[in-house]
Amino acid sequence: MSETAKAAEVAVKEPKEPLFSKKNKALITDPLNDDNPITIQVLGICSALAITVQVKQAFVMAMSVLVVLVGANLIVSLMRNLIPSRVRIIVQLVIVAALVILVDQVLKAFVYDVSKQLSVFVGLIITNCIIMGRLEAFALANKPWPSFLDAVGNAAGYGWILIVVAIAREFFGSGKIWGVQLIPDAFYDLGYANNGLMILPPMALITVGIIIWVQRARNTKLIED
C-alpha cells in the first residue's frame, strides 16, 4: 500500500471519542434519575426494603454493590469476545459470586457488626437483577471504559435510593442518623415519640413509592400512558 493510500486511510478514521463525552456522561447521570434501577426499572427492590432500617447498613450495602458491579462489568467487558454465548450466564454468575465472596469476607473482617446485620443480603447480591441486567444488556456488548461508567452510574442510582430511604426510616423510626441521636431529649420530654411503624418493611415500600411519585411529578415524561 502506498504512502498516499495509508494517509487517506488514516484520514477517514473516526476521531477518538473523549473519555467523558456526552454519551459517556449519560451512562452515569441517566441511572440517577430518568433510568433509575429501583424507581424506574424496579430492580433490586428487595434489598431496598430489607436493609434500610439504618443509614449505615444502607451505605455499606450500596458500596458492596458498587464494588461488585464495577468489577463484574469490567471483567465481563474484557472477556466479552472470549465467552461462548451458550454459557455466558454461568460465566457471569461465577464472576459475580467470586466478587461477592470477596466483599463478604472484607465486611466480616472490618465491619463485622454491619455484616451480621446485613445477614444473607450480601450473599443475595449474586442474584441482584441490577447486576445481571447490566452484564447482559451492557458489558457483553461494550468496551471496558463505558462498562465502568455504566456500573458506577447504576450503582450510584441504586445507592442513593437506599440511603434516602434509610435516612427517612432511621430518623423518624428512632430519631437517629448513622446511630447518632439527632432529636433532642427535650422533644421526648414534651411528648414526642418515635414512629415505630417506620422501622417495619411496609414503610420502606411506602417511602420508595413516595420517591417514585416525586420523580414522576417533576419529570412527566416518566409517566406511562
Q: What is the pTM assigned to this prediction?
A: 0.83
- Does the residue 54 lie in any domain? yes
Q: Is 175 inside a domain boundary? A: no
Residue 77 lies in a domain: yes
Q: Looking at beta carbons, which pairs linking 3-9 to residues 24 or more positions away fall under 8 Å?
A: none
CA-CA distance, 204 to 221, in Å (whole number)?
25
Is 163 part of any domain?
yes
User: For 43-87, how does the pLDDT look when each residue is reduced to its tens digit (9 = 90+)?
Assistant: 777 777 777 888 888 898 889 889 999 999 999 999 888 888 888
Task: Evaluate whether residue 201 is within a structural domain.
Answer: no
Residue 181 has pLDDT above 90, yes or no: no
Residue 49 counted as domain residue = yes
Domain, as residue range, for 140: 43-168
Question: What is the number of structural domains in the chain?
Answer: 1
Query: Is 178 inside a domain boundary?
Result: no
The three cell numbers of residue 140 are 457483553
Distance, in Å, from the CA atom of 19 to the CA atom of 15, rounded to the nearest integer, reads 12
Question: pLDDT tens digits for 152-166?
Answer: 999 999 899 899 999
Query: Could you tell me if residue 6 is inside a domain?
Result: no
Query: Do residues 31 and 37 make contact, with C-beta atoms less than 8 angstroms apart?
Result: yes
End-to-end CA distance of the chain: 58
Instruction: Give dist(CA 125, CA 102) in Å, integer.
Output: 12
In this model, does residue 10 exceed pLDDT 50? no
Question: Three cell numbers at 132?
Answer: 445481571
